[in-house]
Structure 1
Amino acid sequence: MITDSLKIITKEQDLPITNLECNTFNHLEFKIGGNSYLLDLPEYKFSQNPGTDFDPLVSKSPDGKWLAYTDKYNIYIKSTQDGSVKQLSSKGERLYEYGTYYGWSDIIEGENGERPKRLLVNWSPDSRWFQTYITDMRYAPEMYLLDWSIDTIYKPKLLSYYRGSPGDTDMVKMIPVFYNVSTGEEYIKYQLQSTHTDPIQYEWSSLYPGMVYQENTIRGYQSVELYRCDLYTKKEELLYRETSNTNIDNYESNIIEPWNKAIITTERSGWKQLYLLDLTTKALTPLTSGTYYVNEIVQIDTLNNTVFFLPLAKNPGAIHTNGTLYRLGLSDLKEELLTPEDANHDISISPDGLYFVDNISTLDQPTHTILKRIGSPDSTVEISRAAITGLDSLHFRAPESFTAIGRDGLTTLYGAIWKPTTFDSTKIYPIIDQTYTGPHTFMYPRNFSSAWPDPTNPWQNWVL
């Protein structure tokens, strides 16, 4: 079809498709060469999707009536109906900038150069409010780099970026600010300045106008606070506070307003588990328990009263670094293992909760992708299987897993070692130590696609 319609020579195993999305049950949307296309599945018709040009520096309100943007470090909105413009902020200046954020990888060229332009606007569902930040870089020092890779200029290029170190107090600050679209009211939360590495997060209520949920991870990761805020009355209600003497590892909260509940993760038992938080009484009810770690809440099916989650170290005898998918019934707290294979599972569940796509792999087992109907173990359909003949022809050597016991004498630690393709056990090789002890992440390759920390390493004369 692609060959006939676009006159492009293609191969079945090498389609020039990117950004494949199933937006409805009847249509697939994808891109080829920068152009967007639609495939009508019932009639199997192929057409170009003109769509609209996406501008990352403009944000349209959900009702389509307003466009938010920045100009000279201030935030504006423009009516899509009559073209009228409202200036909402007036105190913006260079390094104290409204409506923006500092990107983790933003690089600044030269002395006092401009950073990449950014826009961050979080609209309420009813388009009456939006939330953004003031990014304050006035007192933050820069770290510097020298780029020696450009031969034509015969000297290094000066680059810089903002990044704080432990104990620094002069970091980039993110100050939350809210705007009432109809009145132009500006509500700045000066007392809640956070660092750009952990800005305060907001989630709008889907039921109550002007209501927003605020999640604030306190710097140091020893405290997380969840509030419910009324922008009309300016009242705030503390719903939950998580604390730790060490650190909180990837706290997660999922607000379920029709139930007036939230499903959260907490390590209060010593293991990261799921709990149900009553937003009225603030009571906590454990949903899971055991000597394992809940890595991720994949999906909450409110219609069927079900939670899908990925735990680690739950299955006896399995490799504890691999995530497996479980279904938890909230009525009876019955758990069901949906992915029995001893491998890592990267999961995508259909919106109706009936099917899931599973990318199965390990650090040395190539990915194969299957489709399953939940509750029907015999309904498995294989979608694809990664071909690694190209890697084999290059004598690719997959990383090897190993274990060691931690200094507590009890905990099993998992590691991986990469050897060069020409590895000779009788020779001595230099070893590069690429460990990261956390918190919040680890370097161990949990799946096949992450087993390449440095694509050139297999052909170098060292061990990683």
Structure 2
Amino acid sequence: MRTTSTALLVLLTSLLTSTAAGQGSKQDYEQAFDQRASRRGTVRGDELIHGWSSDGTRLWFIANLEGGGTQYRVCELATGRITHAFNHAVLAESLRAAHLEIDPDRLPLRRLEFDGDGRLRLLLQSAPPQELVVEDGKVFSLGDIDPAGPFAVPLRPVGHFGRGRRRGRGRVDLIVHNASEHTIRLDWLSDRGARRYDEIAPGERHVQDTHVGHLWRIVSVSDDATWGDVLAPELISLVRVEGPAAPTDRADEEEPVLPAPTPRVMFREHNAWLERPGESEVQLTTEGAEEQPLAGPVHISPDGRYLVVHQEHRAETREIHMVESSPDDQLQPKLHTLDYPKPGDPLDVKRPRMFDAQSGKELGLDRDLFPNPWNIRHGHWAADSSSFFFVHNERGHGFLRLLAVDVATGTTRVVIDEDPETFVDYNQKLFLHHLEDTNEVLWTSERSGWNHLYRVDRSTGEAVAVTSGEWVVRAVVEVDEGQRTARLRVMGIHAGQDPYHVHHAVVDFDTGELTVWTESDGTHEIRLSSDGQHLVATWSRADQPPVHEVRRTSDGALVTELARADASANLEARGGRFSQPFAAKGRDGTTEIWGLIHRPRDFDPGQRYPVIEAIYAGPHDHHVPKAFAETYRAEAMTELGFLVVQIDGMGTNWRSKSFHDVAHKNLADAGFPDRIAWLRAAGEADASFDLERVGIYGGSAGGQNAMRAVLDHHEFYRAAAADCGCHDNRMDKVWWNELWMGWPVDDSYLRSSNVEDADRLGGALFLTVGELDRNVDPASTMQVVDALIRADKDFELIVFPGGGHGSGGGRYGTRRMYDFFVRELHGVEPRWEGEPVQTVLRQRNQ
């Protein structure tokens, strides 16, 4: 360990030799807080507005012009040839004849559709919006939007869209035309219920700004009767409301249909009751009690003969108490109490019970294979009603099983057994899809060391790898049982690229033939054509603005590049450089560790800058941004004259299983050996990195990580800011912590506790917490404060009255964190004007 005098001398020397421009002046602070707003709108064309012809031969899209303006263009999908959709100058002149003064490069058009007669239909942004039909480049007709045309969406009966409505990307305008004789109201249907919006008088049109996939309800104001629902589509559209929606044929909707008559299960007085059509109710259970009630979910066999319910065994739930010191509505403090199970606590447990629906008798189940479940989910009946399947997730997450119950015998057998030496990441990597026609399931597993898709025989448990290799299946997007294919999001599939880039593929799950649809060096989003033969892929990186391509799905071949986003204004706002992805070897000298470097807007490569790491090492995901953005939250601090970095070290998700397993019973590790190796490599590659002045900050799990840096690695990290930290995993929510740290609670929890190791603090520490944090118990921060005081350590603390999770990320908390790092790493008083004033260097914790 360095002596105090040596540490102060090194720091003082580095401060005196640094002449970087931004060092925490008042102007620097203003620019930091204004950064996001100042960069808003500096990227044009990051999203591609496009559509497909009904015959699948053409694609239209809106292209951005240099210097501003847009044009509509058409891509011939067979050749990739791109042409103008029409002569914009001729069309503008034609519109002038209709008394509309329009710039040909700024036509107020919102959408294009191909007419079967060879004409183009355009949606004109006017008041009200109108439909424009173009033939031979000239206006053929101009008038109201055809309610039966391609720009219209229907009003559907209430409940038509169910609960599983899709969530799309981006915003869209929904034009509501009230063609009825009554005033109507728009209600937005969220997960929390209906929220009232605008009223629309008879004959009026209203343009509602919304998000793709949001559900809206039409209500008659006079009697509050619901008339129907409309789902916001991907492109601007009109819904014409003439009255209540007409009934529709829902045969196209994928809903399970049980044969009639179907028994029904009800729950009363903690017991289960069976109602058979045409018969009196039968009480299935009598032993239910308040602490052991019968409950759902209910699973009825396809033939209606058998059913499964669940009996819950309730445990006494831990409560935590928080005092709101300064409530808005009264002078005296308030006490808040909430249920908050923690690692090791007794938990509610549900176990299945099976009954014969004809006799009402219970069929015994062999429970030896699911003795202590964390949960039992994904119940599913075989098509012939002979077996019932469910997933058993054992508490501690050391193993996970797909089990099958034989109805005839009541015996339970293991179909799939995931039993790694560490943990099963059920929260991110569990995928299950039953293939009834072949008595198989599709299942994801890390048994090979990488997350891949398997096809498993439900009778024998024999597993066949559908995908394999040193890359991972990120998600199964869709299963087509007819074609025996699965659409996938994959990561790490292209050697030489950042392994966190998302690519898209389709796999034949009989042959394992994999067709990768995307290959460009970036992370991808795609939109398929209506016939599934083509896709538009949008890819980007932190240092590459979005690029839009059209590709074939048959082989993934590139048809053509359609457009590139114009980020010239954004590049200028960033000082001529984007954030830089950077990779270096980790602790083992072999594994590539990937991160991101954010540099100051006025960066001078001849100067040396202190470095701050924005850390979040939660094992549930990776956390370094991959897609391009106008600005990243971590970038703001660069305005104060810091290099800011983000790194995904070992222990984070979506690499190999061994990479992830570093976190097992070892959250204290947080990938620090990899992070430090990465930073040293970055310093070797770029002399502007001043690794004698390194700070770190994070919130929540990142708060735990940030403090751990100055406990275990204070010879490298000189200062840490930790907001709402989970400083002892025994104090935090049960599900997140037991997933990585296991159950029962053992000494590994102590070894990862910042409270237990508070006496090891070196360097400077700034703690923040909201007194009403309902995510991470705020007592976790106060316990680490107590331990620091007992160890006679210096630190700073802010408790936010009434503040919740992440309160330190508000404006005041952020400003104070900026102050902390400016003092500790720049060595000047923050927010100076004129000339900086040097901070009096105090002795740091050693």
TM-score range, shorter-chain basis?
0.5 to 0.7
Aligned to 2:440: 261
* Distance in 1, Cα, partners of 2:602 & 2:310: 52
Q: Aligned to 2:621, what secondary structure does the other structure show?
A: coil
Matching residue's letter, 1:98: L
Q: Aligned to 2:502, what secondary structure does the other structure show?
A: coil
1:273-328 Cα offsets, whole Å, 9 max, x none, are: 33333334433333333222222222333322323222221112322112211222
Whether 1:3 aligns to 2:196 is no
Whether 1:412 aligns to 2:592 is yes
Give the TM-score of the pair, scaled to structure 1: 0.68
* 1:15 pairs with one of 197, 201, 209: 209
Whether 1:160 aligns to 2:338 is yes
Q: Aligned to 1:258, what secondary structure does the other structure show?
A: helix
Question: Is contact 1:308–1:328 with CA below 8 Å preserved after alignment?
Answer: yes
Whether 1:246 aligns to 2:422 is yes
Whether 1:435 aligns to 2:620 is no
Alignment identity in percent? 20
* Distance in 2, Cα, partners of 1:199 & 1:371: 44
Quote how far apart the aligned CAs of 1:338 are: 0.7
Question: Is contact 2:216–2:229 with CA below 8 Å preserved after alignment?
Answer: yes
Aligned to 2:351: 175
Quote how far apart the aligned CAs of 1:129 are: 4.2
Structure 1 residues 404 and 455, CA gap change in structure 2 (3 angstroms): farther
Matching residue's letter, 2:290: R
How many residue pairs get aligned? The number is 417
Q: Aligned to 1:199, what secondary structure does the other structure show?
A: strand
Larger radius of gyration: 2
Quote how far apart the aligned CAs of 1:75 are: 4.1
Whether 1:342 aligns to 2:521 is yes
* Distance in 2, Cα, partners of 1:355 & 1:32: 34
Whether 1:36 aligns to 2:229 is yes
Q: Aligned to 1:238, what secondary structure does the other structure show?
A: strand
Q: Which runs of 5+ in 1 are unaligned?
A: 21-29, 52-59, 101-119
Q: Which residues of 2 match residues 76-225 of structure 1 at below 5 A?
A: 76=273, 85-99=281-295, 120-147=297-324, 150-154=327-331, 155-165=333-343, 168=344, 170-186=346-362, 192=370, 194-195=372-373, 198-225=374-401
1:158-191 Cα offsets, whole Å, 9 max, x none, are: 22224231xx162222222344444434458665
* Distance in 2, Cα, partners of 1:74 & 1:363: 57
* 1:297 pairs with one of 467, 476, 488: 476
Aligned to 2:651: none
Q: Aligned to 2:461, what secondary structure does the other structure show?
A: coil
Q: Which residues of 2 match residues 312-327 of structure 1 at below 5 A?
A: 312-327=491-506
Question: Is contact 1:78–1:84 with CA below 8 Å preserved after alignment?
Answer: yes
CA RMSD of aligned residues (A): 5.2
Higher helix share: 2
Structure 1 residues 140 and 188, CA gap change in structure 2 (3 angstroms): farther
Structure 1 residues 326 and 183, CA gap change in structure 2 (3 angstroms): same
* 2:486 pairs with one of 304, 307, 327: 307
Q: Aligned to 1:4, what secondary structure does the other structure show?
A: strand
Q: Aligned to 2:329, what secondary structure does the other structure show?
A: helix
Matching residue's letter, 1:94: E
* Distance in 2, Cα, partners of 1:398 & 1:73: 61
* Distance in 2, Cα, partners of 1:72 & 1:343: 57
Question: Is contact 2:579–2:596 with CA below 8 Å preserved after alignment?
Answer: yes
Structure 1 residues 351 and 121, CA gap change in structure 2 (3 angstroms): farther
Question: Is contact 1:402–1:415 with CA below 8 Å preserved after alignment?
Answer: yes
* Distance in 2, Cα, partners of 1:366 & 1:456: 31
Whether 1:279 aligns to 2:458 is yes
Whether 1:233 aligns to 2:429 is no
* Distance in 2, Cα, partners of 1:370 & 1:83: 62
Quote how far apart the aligned CAs of 1:229 are: 1.6
Matching residue's letter, 1:326: A
Matching residue's letter, 2:447: R
Question: Is contact 2:317–2:339 with CA below 8 Å preserved after alignment?
Answer: no
Q: Which runs of 5+ in 2 are unaligned?
A: 1-144, 146-174, 179-199, 220-227, 248-255, 635-805, 822-846
Question: Is contact 1:366–1:386 with CA below 8 Å preserved after alignment?
Answer: yes
Segment of structure 1 superposing worse, 414-423 or 85-94: 414-423
Matching residue's letter, 1:302: E
